[in-house]
């Protein structure tokens, strides 16, 4: 029978809970395991705590908590439960940190303006406000091909009862994965299901990834997906004139890059004349500067780009890295942006989002909203059961609905003026 070490196990549980409360490392390669263990603990602490309690009962029955060491182990385990409870209460209280930045940037009445667009969608498709979320693909296979390559696949999320002439607003989801994974499943499910249930069409793509493929293949595929949406989404009930883009991690800068380089022929080989513009962008916890090596994790990030993604040294190819950086492609006519980042992100530190938002605000004539979420780790919007995933979905819908309503108002004013 293997030797039981209840004190060692209890210490490990307490350290893991503490890591969920606040990352134990913020620099260098240790941030990777810190994220891997801290991510589920920080977002699904009630489930983690319930599992720990059930296992503690099992171990208590077999006598693991007898004697001085066992009692200390039980006390440490109880402390870890208290930490997990604190994490959950903190997460539940995070909603104002999503809403307040929207109110500050868009105005105190942003929710009333957004509600006009949301109410119109609900009335059009007959969606009761509290209907259970469900997901429906367009085809039984759940996929379409947006380009000639095998990897150019996309899931289309839509209500089964959405009319084919529905003129539904469209959101393109560009998955993350360090430019090396890029899998559309199971990323952003809370956001995609929320929007689809409320009458949106969401398109979630795969794209070419490294090291097999080399930059700019990644962004070319994102552009190709946008071109496909503009040409074909009306067949599924979508509005090609209202296409927004989002996603986090590597998908964050890809989304931002696409939004800032609309119709750039250098990124659209073979489809140079296609419309690849978007009405809004929502990049989340991304790295937007591919040039600077100053800051936590930046030296490792540049080394990763040189070896696996761009595959060229930055010293001799600096302009290539500059062109790939959303931070260096800012423009006054950028569409509205809603940038989100977690303060406790151990993979991509929060200054990345903060600096990009500040720089874009200085240049863009469109609204730029920046939400910095206290205590949030990387990928804080990933899980269905996470309060922050729920708040993210709500906030993104509010922002995009505000964009939709203000565009319609502006178009109406132009008609009247004409």
- Residue-wise pLDDT tens digits, 7-58: 888 999 999 999 999 998 887 778 888 888 888 899 989 998 999 999 899 9
Angle (deg, nearest 10), helices 217-232 and 251-260: 60
Q: Are 179 and 192 in a shared domain?
A: yes
Percent of the chain with pLDDT over 90: 69
Catalytic residues, which ones? 249, 345, 378
- Cβ(308)–Cβ(252) below 8 Å: no
**Domain assignment present for 269:** yes
- Cβ(306)–Cβ(314) below 8 Å: yes
Task: Indicate the residue among 92, 107, 130 that finishes a domain.
Answer: 92
Please, what is the average pLDDT of the chain?
89
How much is the CA Rg of the chain, to the nearest whole Å? 23
- Residue-wise pLDDT tens digits, 65-74: 888 888 999 9
pTM for this prediction: 0.92
Q: Are 191 and 44 in a shared domain?
A: no
Q: Are 134 and 83 in a shared domain?
A: no
- Cβ partners under 8 Å of residue 172, min gap 6: 202, 203, 205, 222, 225, 226, 229, 243, 244, 245, 246, 255, 278
Percent of the chain with pLDDT over 70: 92
Nearest alpha-carbon partner for 381 in 197, 182, 190: 190
pLDDT recorded at residue 4: 66
Q: Are 167 and 30 in a shared domain?
A: no
Q: pLDDT at residue 219 above 60?
A: yes
Nearest alpha-carbon partner for 246 in 194, 297, 296: 194
Q: Are 290 and 361 in a shared domain?
A: yes
* Domain of 35, in residue numbers: 6-92
- Residue-wise pLDDT tens digits, 89-105: 999 999 999 999 999 99
- The CATH number of the domain where 202 resides is what? 3.40.50.1820
Q: Are 181 and 81 in a shared domain?
A: no
Look up residue 335 and give its two tokens: 């569409």
Higher pLDDT, 303 or 26: 303
Q: Are 223 and 200 in a shared domain?
A: yes
Encode the chain in three state secondary structure. Answer: CCCCCHHHHHHHHHHHHHHHHCCCCCCCCCHHHHHHHHHHHHHCHHHHHHHHHHHHHHHHHCCCCCHHHHHHHHHHHHHHHHHHHHHHHHHHCCCHHHHHHHHHHHCCCHHHHHHHHHHHHHHHHCCCCCCCCCCCECCCCCCEECCCCCCCEEEEECCCCCCCCCCEEEEEECCCCCCCCCCCCCCCHHHHHHHHHCCCEEEEECCCCCCCCCCCHHHHHHHHHHHHHHHHHHHHCEEEEEEEEEEECCHHHHHHHHHHCCCCHHHCCCCCCCCCCCCEEEEECCCCCCCCCCCCCHHHHHHHHHHHHCCCCCCCCHHHHHHHCHHHCCCCCCCCEEEEEECCCCCCCCHHHHHHHHHHHHHCCCCEEEEEECCCCCCCCCCCCCHHHHHHHHHHHHHHHHHHHHHHHHHHHHHHHC
- Residue-wise pLDDT tens digits, 132-167: 444 443 333 368 999 999 999 999 998 888 888 878
Q: Are 308 and 188 in a shared domain?
A: yes
Q: Are 48 and 129 in a shared domain?
A: no
Task: Indicate the residue among 74, 92, 110 that finishes a domain.
Answer: 92
**Domain assignment present for 1:** no
Look up residue 161 and give its two tokens: 């009862």
- Residue-wise pLDDT tens digits, 80-91: 999 999 999 999
Rounded Cα–Cα distance for residues 189 and 408 (Å): 28
- Cβ(171)–Cβ(202) below 8 Å: yes
Q: Are 122 and 77 in a shared domain?
A: no
Q: Are 88 and 111 in a shared domain?
A: no
**Domain assignment present for 405:** yes
Q: Are 271 and 409 in a shared domain?
A: yes
Q: Which residue has the tokens 């990834």?
A: 209
Domain count, the chain: 2
Task: Indicate the residue among 92, 109, 140 that finishes a domain.
Answer: 92
């Amino acid at each position: 029978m293997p030797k039981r070490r209840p004190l060692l196990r209890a210490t490990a549980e307490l350290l893991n809970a503490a890591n969920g409360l606040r990352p134990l490392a913020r620099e260098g390669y240790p941030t990777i395991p810190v994220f891997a263990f801290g991510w589920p603990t920080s977002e699904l602490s009630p489930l983690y705590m319930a599992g720990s309690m059930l296992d503690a009962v099992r171990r208590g029955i077999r006598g693991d908590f007898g004697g001085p060491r066992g009692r200390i182990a039980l006390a440490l385990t109880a402390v870890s439960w208290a930490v997990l409870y604190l994490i959950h209460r903190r997460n539940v209280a995070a909603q104002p940190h999503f809403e307040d930045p929207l109110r500050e940037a868009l105005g105190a009445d942003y929710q009333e303006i957004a509600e006009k667009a949301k109410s119109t969608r609900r009335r059009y498709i007959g969606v009761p406000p509290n209907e259970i979320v469900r997901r429906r693909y367009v085809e039984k296979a759940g996929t379409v091909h947006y380009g000639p390559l095998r990897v150019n696949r996309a899931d289309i999320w839509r209500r089964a009862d959405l009319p084919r002439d529905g003129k539904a607003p469209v959101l393109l989801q560009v998955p993350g994965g360090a430019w090396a994974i890029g899998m559309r499943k199971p990323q952003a499910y809370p956001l995609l299901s929320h929007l689809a249930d409320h009458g949106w069409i969401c398109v979630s793509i795969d794209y070419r990834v490294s090291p097999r493929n080399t930059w700019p293949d990644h962004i070319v595929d994102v552009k190709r997906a946008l071109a496909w949406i503009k040409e074909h989404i009306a067949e599924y009930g979508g509005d090609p004139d209202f296409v927004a883009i989002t996603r986090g991690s590597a998908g964050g800068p890809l989304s931002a890059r696409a939004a800032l380089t609309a119709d750039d022929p250098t990124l659209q080989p073979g489809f140079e004349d296609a419309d690849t513009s978007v009405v809004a962008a929502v990049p989340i916890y991304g790295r937007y500067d591919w040039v600077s090596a100053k800051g936590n994790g930046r030296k490792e990030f540049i080394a990763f780009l040189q070896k696996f993604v761009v595959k060229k040294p930055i010293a001799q190819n600096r302009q290539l890295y500059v062109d790939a950086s959303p931070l260096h492609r800012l423009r006054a006519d950028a569409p509205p942006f809603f940038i989100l980042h977690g303060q406790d992100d151990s993979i991509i530190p929060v200054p990345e989002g903060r600096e990009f938002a500040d720089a874009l605000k200085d240049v863009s004539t469109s609204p730029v909203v920046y939400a910095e979420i206290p205590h949030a780790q990387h990928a804080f919007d990933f899980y269905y059961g996470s309060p922050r995933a729920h708040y993210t979905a709500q906030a993104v819908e509010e922002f995009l609905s505000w964009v939709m309503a203000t565009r319609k108002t502006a178009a109406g004013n132009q008609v009247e003026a004409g």
